[in-house]
Structures are given as C-alpha cells and as structure tokens.
Chain A
Amino acid sequence: MSLTYLLLAVALLCAVSFYFGRQRAVALSNGRYSNLHSLPAHYGMYTALWCGLPALGLLLVWMMFEGTIIQTMIVADLPEEVTSNSGLLSLALNSISQIAAGGGEHLTVSPEIVEAGHRLANLNTIANAALIVVMVSVALVGLALSYRRISSEMRARNNVERLFRYIMIVCSAIAILSTVGIVFSLLFEALHFFGKVSPLDFLFGLEWSPQTAIRADQVASDGAFGAIPLFVGTLLITLIAMFVAVPVGLFSAIYMGEYASPKFRAVAKPALEILAGVPTVVYGFFAALTVAPFLRDNGAVLGLDVSSESALAAGLVMGVMIIPFVSSLSDDVMSQVPKSLRDGSYGLGATKSETIRHVIFPAALPGIVGAVLLAVSRAIGETMIVVMAAGLAANMTVNPLQAVTTVTVQIVTLLVGDQEFDSAKTLSAFALGLLLFLITLGLNVFALKVVQKYREKYD
C-alpha cells in the first residue's frame, strides 16, 4: 500500500534528519556540550520536526482535497445530459471508478464514460506520483533549511518546546473540531432536507412513512416525514428502561454503599460493572432471541397479544444495560452527602434505613435527578438494542406490548445500504440525527449542571 510506504519513508527521513542535526550540533560543540545552547538531541529533534511536520501537513491537506478535485475534473469533461441529472451522474461516477480500478468489462456504458474511466486511472497515477515527489521534496527542503540554521547559539530547545506546545494545542482543539464537524455535517444535510419537507411537518407531523417514489412515474406515496411517532416510540422504550434501571440501580447503590460488607462489595461491584461492559449488540441479540420470544409465549399463556418486536422486550433489556450506569452515578452522589448529616440522624436515634430515606436521599435528590437524566439521554441515543429488537413500523401507541420504532432505528434503516444523497428519505436521517444530537446534548448539559450545583452545595 503506497500510503504506508510513504509514511514509512517520511519516518525514515525524520530519523535521518535527527541523526544529522545531532551530529552537526556535536561537531559545533568542539567536544564540550556546554558550548551549545541546548542539548545535541534538541538540535536533532529540531531538524526532524522541520523535516516531518510540513510533509505530514501537506499529506493531510492533499488527502482532504485530492478526491474532490479529481472528481471535479472528471465531471467537467462529462456530457451535459449526464451531469445535469444527479442520479445518472452518481451512476456514471460509479462505472468510471470501476473502470479506473481495472474492472468494469461487463458494464455497458458509452465511450465517453470508458474514456473518463481511463482518464481517472491516469489522473490517479499522476496524483500518486506527484504526492510522493512533492512530499519527499518538502521533507528534504525542511531538512536542508533547518540543518543550515543550526549554530551553537541557536535556541533549539526553546524552538522544539514551542512547537511541542503548538502540537498539543492542536490536539486539544480536535475536541472542538469534532463537535463543530458533527454540528455542521448534520446541519448541512438537515437543511437540505428542510428544503424538501417543511420543518413544521417534520417536527409535528403524526405520520412517518419515508418510502418515496424512486421514479417519477412510480405509484407510491409521497412519503410522510412526521417525527412524532418516532419520538413517542423512543420515549416509550426509554420509560420502560427507566422503570427497570432506576429502582434497581438506586437500591443496589444504596445496598452497596450502606449495608454490604467489603467482601460482598468486592465481588458484586465488578459483577455489576460487567453489565456496563457488554457490547450493545450482544444485548440486542439477547433481547431479540431470548427476551422477546419469552414475553410472547408467556403473553400468549396469559391471553395477551404480545408482538414479537414488542417495546417491552427492548425496554427491559435496555434497562438492564443502564443499571450499572444509574447505580455508579447515584453511588457517587450519595457518598458525597456530608457525614455530619448522617451522624446527626443517627444521634437522634434513627435507624439506618430511616437515615437513608429521610436524610441522605432528600439531600442527594438533585444529584440523583441529574444521574437519571444522564441515563435517559443514554437510553434515547442507544441504537443496537432497538435496531435488533424493536420494530420498523411507526405505530403511534403507548402500549408496551406492541411494536414501536425509534429515532435511532430509523436512522439506521434509512442509511444502511445504498444511499442517494438527494432524496428526502436519506436526508431525513440527518434531520433525525440533528434532533437526537440536540436532545441528548440538552439533557446532558442540564444534568451536568444539576450535578455540579449539587456538588458545590456540599463542598
């Protein structure tokens, strides 16, 4: 793979420059390192950084724009009737890249496309060769320039450390960058979507059936994009999950914190944490293949009509998944209640449970509410359990025995497989994603604020 070799070559060049820079500094020192401003290794690092960093930066920029630029060049040469229709265009681009990759003999396409395919292959080869030449020369120029600047007075250490600092700042900024990336990528496609479907219909519509006609002459519904049924389904499953997770999580936190012997805790606590470490896809499989049939069969015995994709199955299993989350957060919160409150209660003759119920729990309530809100936000964003165990049809129901669908299920169904980026169907997934992101973000910010405020109260 050429990229790997390229990176290896740059790494090798860096190592060579380190050696050269160090040698040069040693030579300049006349045998006494105290003649130098910095340690010889700093001079080596100085040259190595100036050799490697510009080359890597170039590679990054190149990789970001190479595909787009080449594609624009190819598209510019295609006939008008292909480029004007986005569906045809993506089809044509697909065949072109297949031909360029050396395949596509079975394709029946016009000679322009075949030619474009060969041109693409050609351009790719040129681009690769150019990248290698440009990168190596940038590295060498960096090496040469920094090598020449080395002198015994040069402040190599300060230079290297300043650079190190900049690199660290860039690394920290990546956290901001990814948030910005999330917001913009969701917003961009969501705005596309809102150009086709009015935001009001989306937010307050009561019907969700995203199947749109693929061809103009096809008989199909226009597609209804009302997100309310999805949110009803999401909330129903979340609610069921909370019915399991909050009491079980809270009581196990209380028992672990107040009653359990150290020995019991040493065993039970890690065991509970295993529940948090199990991948969600495993829970999904468990919900779909064990819990759902169990509920259906038992429901049939009781005369209840339980759907095999019932909200109950998904919600119960999701609740189990969230137990350790609730338990560890509320454990944190309750252990922060000052000892004086506890002692005061015991001093008045209250039993342990009376102290917990009437002193510790009310005092910790804001923190516990925060913890539950964080758990809710996690349940809303949970994907695999509902994808595997909940249904696809958007039923507006609060009956936990029926199948409902959720926001995340719809995002996955809309985007798995081939996508067309100009249909409302595909774009609606991004609008849902944006909504999901905003809701979970809002919940988190609010919950963290509550917890923070609570902490300050007892600090």
Chain B
Amino acid sequence: MTDMASLMEDRAAAKVISGNLHTPVDWDSPKLARNIKKRYAAERRFKIYGLSAIAIALLALVVLGYSIISKGYSAFFQTYVQMEIFFDPAKIDPDGTGDPAIIGRANFDGLIRDALSKQFPEVSGRSERRDLYDIVSGGASYDLRERVLENPSLIGQTRKVWLISGDDFDMLNKGYISANTDEGDRRLNDQEVGWYNTLVSQGSVEKQFHTRFFTNGDSREPELAGIWGAAVGSFYTLVVTLILSFPIGVLAAIYLEEFAPRNRFTTIVEVNINNLAAVPSIVFGLLGLEVYLNVMHLPRSAPVVGGLTLALMTLPTIIIASRAAIKAVPPSIRQAALGLGASPVQTVTHHVLPLAMPGILTGTIIGMAQALGETAPLLMIGMVAFIVDIPGGALDPATVLPVQIYLWADSPERAFVEKTSAAIMVLLGFLILMNGLAVYLRKKFERKW
C-alpha cells in the first residue's frame, strides 16, 4: 500500500504547491522529485521480482536437467575387461562333434574363471575367488557362447577377448566408487581395487558403447539391464491407447461441436469431460484395477489393460483439443458445403474434419506424450512386475518406460542410479520428439481464416 500512499502524497503535495488549479504544479520541487524517485524504485523492484521468479523457474529446470544428465551420461558406456581366453576343447566340445547343441550347453563361465585364475594365480580361498569372478559379469559367458557358435574354429585357440565387467567393477572404473575412501566404506575391498589397478596398468580395462542398454530387457544385474523391454511395452500400451482414444475422442468432439442439441445430456457430458480432465491419475488406476482386472478378468500387467486405463485419461485431452480445432473452422465452409447439397455428415467428414485435422493431431500427440509419461495408474494394474522378457504382444506381461524408471530408482545397487538417469534421458528424448512433432504440425498447418 505504500506506493498508493505515495501516489496520494504526490497529489497532496501538488495541490499544496499549486494552491489553486490555475497555477501549474511545480514538478521539479524537491518533495515531488523525491516521491517520484521512490515510486520508480518500487517499479524497478517489482520488475526484478518478476524477473527473478522466471529465473528461479528456469534455474530449477537447468538443475533438473544437469542432475539427470551428469548422473546418466556414463550409463551409455560400459566397462569391459580384456581377458586371454583359452577356448578349451575339453570344456567346450570334449568329443569334437562340432554339434551346436553341445557347444551351446558348455560351461563358458568356467573358461572365464580359468582365465581370471590364470591372470591372478595368487588368489585362493572361496570368498576371494568369488570376489575375483565378480570382475566379469555373469552375462559375459553368453557373449562367449555366441562367439563360438558363430565361429567354431575358435575352439582350441587362445584369444584376447573383451568381456563385459560386473557392476561394482564398472562403478569403480567410472569413479563412482572412490579408491581413496576407507576400505569399510566402499563396496570393493583393497584386494579388488588392487586387481583393478593391475588390469588398468596392463591396458586391459576399457569403456565401450553400451549397446545392451538399448537392446536388453530388465535384469537384476545392472550391467545387463536394458530398456528395450520397457520401450516395447510402452509402444504396445500407447498403440492400444491411441486406437481407443483417438476415434472415440474425435467422434465425441464432432458430436458435441456439430450435432449436439443444447439439452441436459450435452451439459452433463461437457461437465463430465471437464471433471475427468482434473481427476488425479491414480484414481484412474483404481478404476482400471476394479473394472478391468476384478470384474472383467483381463490379464494383469498387460499393455491392453494399461492402454484401456490410459485411454480414459487421454480422452478429455483429445476431446478438448479436437473441439477447439473444429470450432476454429469458419462457418462459411459449412454453409458452402450445405448449399451445394451435402448432408450434415458429409459436410463434416468431407470438409470440416480435414480442415481441423492438424489441430486434432496436435492435441492427440500431446495427449499421447502425457500417456507415455504416466506412471501412477499403471502401478495399480500390476505393470510393476519384474519382467525380463521382451513382450511379444499386447496381452503379454510388460512394463513401460516410466515404471521401469520407478523400479530402477528403487533398486539399491549404485549402478542403477546411472541406468535410471539414462532411462529418463531416453524417455525425455521421446517426449521432446513427440512435442516437437506437435509444434511442427501446428506451425506448418496453422491457418488464419
């Protein structure tokens, strides 16, 4: 209120100075000048408040982005260890049959362990050995098997092979586990750090691009866990959502905008759509759990159920956007079509709808982007299960990208922190792509009538 007061003061001062209306106000008098200065200072302060509010919001965005990227970029690379592997015929194919079935069953883990023991012959004792074998991931034996099945002539030879390392070793190499901390405070003991240093000095430790992260399903081992399973699950879920919500939403929008008489039914529908848009997403999850799982007995964890649930959530977004797009088509188009003898339905399907389509598609893409980022309702319908397999259809158990992020964020292993951040980067990448497409569509087809 102070500056309102000072505004009043200005007036009062002006009145005193002018005495009556015929003598002009002396705007240069020290009192008025002081007052104006005060008011301008208040003006500047106010402007600074506004600017700093925006700065705070943008700072939050930058910190968010920085913390995710700085935590996550290292997940795109994985530590590999070079080992001299002797492809022992006695272990792989003792009878020399060359039969892939026999080779496939061979104990490739044993080969890796032999190589590790040969490299560090001084290691003895059960627990020490276990520590030693943890240098290499359990997934490395599958790589070796692939290699031998592809090229059976390797059997009997000794080759230097890059093997994927275990997660603790990977964390040490990436610097997340510091060798300088007290031995009791880190996950690797001094001996394991010593092995690491030896391997590094031999040039046998290297970071390579981590393709598995993009091609694997989930795993309990961080170094083997990938996002492909969740990405496929997200894809099926979104397809189901789109198939259901797009036609229903557009048809509902056409009806409400072009055909609906003003009656109680229409009013109830409109009120309902507005309210549905504001219902918390978790309530939709409860609805899905009760109706789709308990009443209709659809399979748990399936993308179909996720898609059905998300479709109800996306419907209001699509309806509202489509109505706005249809409303933006000028009435003259309709009148022209009707005047040439088109029926109301023909007018809509041949003229109004094609003209409104860019707007409708923009709204749909934004709705789909929301659905892609949605987590809470999917937790309710069981899409949080630990699923290793890549889902093959909309009825298979699956998880989706945001739920995968939630699951990894809950995992205790240090290596999952970077996986989570990397998965977030992938999810945000998809969202940016979708929103970018929406903006492009809007810019390209935007029409002023």
Which residue on chain A has the smallest CB distance to residue B395? Answer: A1
Let me know if B269 and A383 touch, CB within 8 A. no
What chain B residues lie within 8 Å of A340 (beta carbons)? none
Instruction: Confirm or deny: B208 has a beta carbon within 8 angstroms of a beta carbon on chain A.
Output: no
Instruction: Confirm or deny: A284 has a beta carbon within 8 angstroms of a beta carbon on chain B.
Output: yes
What chain B residues lie within 8 Å of A289 (beta carbons)? 67, 71, 409, 417
How far does the alpha carbon of A388 sit from the alpha carbon of B376 in the complex, in Å? Answer: 11
The interface stretch among A127-135, A274-282, A363-371 is A274-282
What chain B residues lie within 8 Å of A415 (beta carbons)? 286, 289, 379-380
Which residue on chain B has the smallest CB distance to residue A321? Answer: B60
Selected contact of A259 from candidates B50, B273, B286, CB within 8 Å = B50
Let me know if A286 and B67 touch, CB within 8 A. yes
Binding site secondary structure of chain B = helix
Let me know if A185 and B291 touch, CB within 8 A. yes
Which residue on chain A has the smallest CB distance to residue B385? Answer: A417
Within the complex, what minimum Cβ distance (angstroms) separates A342 from chain B?
15
Let me know if A286 and B64 touch, CB within 8 A. yes
Within the complex, what minimum Cβ distance (angstroms) separates B218 from chain A?
16
Residues facing B in A139-182 (CB within 8 A) are: 157, 160-161, 164-165, 167-169, 171-176, 178-179, 181-182
Instruction: Confirm or deny: A429 has a beta carbon within 8 angstroms of a beta carbon on chain B.
Output: yes
What chain B residues lie within 8 Å of A429 (beta carbons)? 286
Let me know if B315 and A247 touch, CB within 8 A. no
Within the complex, what minimum Cβ distance (angstroms) separates B373 from chain A?
3
What chain B residues lie within 8 Å of A251 (beta carbons)? 49-50, 52-54
Which residue on chain B has the smallest CB distance to residue A348? Answer: B7
The interface stretch among A200-208, A296-304, A305-313, A437-445 is A437-445
Let me know if B406 and A281 touch, CB within 8 A. yes
Instruction: Confirm or deny: A411 has a beta carbon within 8 angstroms of a beta carbon on chain B.
Output: yes
Instruction: Confirm or deny: A408 has a beta carbon within 8 angstroms of a beta carbon on chain B.
Output: yes
Given contacts A67-B297, A251-B49, contact A286 B68 (CB under 8 A): yes
Let me know if B295 and A349 touch, CB within 8 A. no
How far does the alpha carbon of A172 sit from the alpha carbon of B296 in the complex, in Å? Answer: 22
What chain A residues lie within 8 Å of B39 (beta carbons)? 351, 354
Selected contact of A271 from candidates B4, B61, B276, CB within 8 Å = B61
Let me know if A279 and B280 touch, CB within 8 A. no
Residues facing A in B368-425 (CB within 8 A) are: 369, 372-376, 379-380, 384, 393-395, 402-403, 405-406, 409-410, 417, 420-421, 424
Instruction: Confirm or deny: B3 has a beta carbon within 8 angstroms of a beta carbon on chain A.
Output: yes
Let me know if B252 and A171 touch, CB within 8 A. yes
Selected contact of A268 from candidates B43, B58, B394, B406, CB within 8 Å = B58
CB-CB nearest 4 A-B residue pairs: A381-B280, A255-B50, A279-B373, A67-B297
Residues facing A in B1-16 (CB within 8 A) are: 3-4, 7, 10
Instruction: Confirm or deny: B248 has a beta carbon within 8 angstroms of a beta carbon on chain A.
Output: yes
Per-position binary interface string of chain B over residues 154-170, scored 1 when its CB falls under 8 Å from any chain A CB and 0 otherwise = 00000000000000000
Within the complex, what minimum Cβ distance (angstroms) separates B243 from chain A?
10
Let me know if A185 and B290 touch, CB within 8 A. yes
Which residue on chain A has the smallest CB distance to residue B404? Answer: A281
Let me know if B278 and A440 touch, CB within 8 A. yes
What chain B residues lie within 8 Å of A255 (beta carbons)? 47, 50-51, 53-54
Residues facing B in A208-228 (CB within 8 A) are: none
What chain A residues lie within 8 Å of B50 (beta carbons)? 251-252, 254-255, 258-259
Which residue on chain B has the smallest CB distance to residue A268? Answer: B54
Let me know if A182 and B43 touch, CB within 8 A. no
Let me know if A436 and B280 touch, CB within 8 A. yes
What chain A residues lie within 8 Å of B279 (beta carbons)? 182, 381, 437, 440-441
Which residue on chain B has the smallest CB distance to residue A269? Answer: B54
Instruction: Confirm or deny: B112 has a beta carbon within 8 angstroms of a beta carbon on chain A.
Output: no
Within the complex, what minimum Cβ distance (angstroms) separates A322 from chain B?
11
Given contacts A281-B402, A281-B406, contact A175 B272 (CB under 8 A): yes
How far does the alpha carbon of A441 sit from the alpha carbon of B272 in the complex, in Å? Answer: 11
Given contacts A168-B255, A279-B427, A441-B275, contact A383 B281 (CB under 8 A): yes
Let me know if B283 and A433 touch, CB within 8 A. yes
Within the complex, what minimum Cβ distance (angstroms) separates A162 from chain B?
9
What chain A residues lie within 8 Å of B395 (beta carbons)? 1, 3
Let me know if A179 and B275 touch, CB within 8 A. yes
Instruction: Confirm or deny: B336 has a beta carbon within 8 angstroms of a beta carbon on chain A.
Output: no
Instruction: Confirm or deny: B260 has a beta carbon within 8 angstroms of a beta carbon on chain A.
Output: yes
Let me know if A252 and B282 touch, CB within 8 A. no
Selected contact of A284 from candidates B46, B273, B406, B431, CB within 8 Å = B406
Instruction: Confirm or deny: B254 has a beta carbon within 8 angstroms of a beta carbon on chain A.
Output: yes
What chain A residues lie within 8 Å of B375 (beta carbons)? 279-281, 383-384
Let me know if A68 and B295 touch, CB within 8 A. yes
Let me know if B374 and A279 touch, CB within 8 A. yes
Given contacts A320-B57, A436-B283, contact A173 B68 (CB under 8 A): no
Which residue on chain A has the smallest CB distance to residue B394? Answer: A1
Other A-B pairs beyond A251-B54, A289-B417, A323-B60, 17, CB < 8 Å: A63-B296, A165-B255, A165-B345, A168-B254, A172-B260, A178-B315, A188-B290, A272-B57, A274-B61, A289-B67, A320-B60, A353-B42, A354-B39, A377-B278, A411-B282, A412-B376, A441-B279
Instruction: Confirm or deny: B101 has a beta carbon within 8 angstroms of a beta carbon on chain A.
Output: no
Let me know if A383 and B420 touch, CB within 8 A. no
How far does the alpha carbon of A254 sit from the alpha carbon of B431 in the complex, in Å? Answer: 29
Selected contact of A408 from candidates B47, B268, B315, B376, CB within 8 Å = B376
Given contacts A255-B53, A384-B406, contact A278 B428 (CB under 8 A): yes
Selected contact of B409 from candidates A3, A4, A171, A284, CB within 8 Å = A284
Per-position binary interface string of chain A over residues 328-368, scored 1 when its CB falls under 8 Å from any chain B CB and 0 otherwise = 00000000000000000000011111101110000000000
How far does the alpha carbon of A67 sit from the alpha carbon of B295 in the complex, in Å? Answer: 9
What chain B residues lie within 8 Å of A165 (beta carbons)? 255, 259, 345
Per-position binary interface string of chain A over residues 421-453, scored 1 when its CB falls under 8 Å from any chain B CB and 0 otherwise = 100000001100100110011001100100000
Within the complex, what minimum Cβ distance (angstroms) separates A250 from chain B?
8
What chain B residues lie within 8 Å of A249 (beta carbons)? 53
Per-position binary interface string of chain A over residues 226-254, scored 1 when its CB falls under 8 Å from any chain B CB and 0 otherwise = 00000000000000000000011111101
Pick 12 A–B contacts, CB within 8 A, sort by A: A168-B254, A175-B269, A175-B272, A175-B319, A179-B272, A248-B57, A268-B58, A272-B57, A284-B406, A288-B409, A320-B57, A415-B289
What chain A residues lie within 8 Å of B286 (beta carbons)? 182, 185-186, 411, 415, 429-430, 433
Within the complex, what minimum Cβ distance (angstroms) separates B419 from chain A?
11
Let me know if B58 and A353 touch, CB within 8 A. no
Which residue on chain A has the smallest CB distance to residue B55? Answer: A252
Interface centre among B52, B376, B384 (most CB of A within 10 A): B376
Residues facing A in B278-315 (CB within 8 A) are: 278-284, 286-287, 289-291, 294-298, 312, 315
Residues facing B in A71-109 (CB within 8 A) are: 71
Per-position binary interface string of chain B over residues 233-252, scored 1 when its CB falls under 8 Å from any chain A CB and 0 otherwise = 00000000000000111011
How far does the alpha carbon of A284 sit from the alpha carbon of B409 in the complex, in Å? Answer: 9
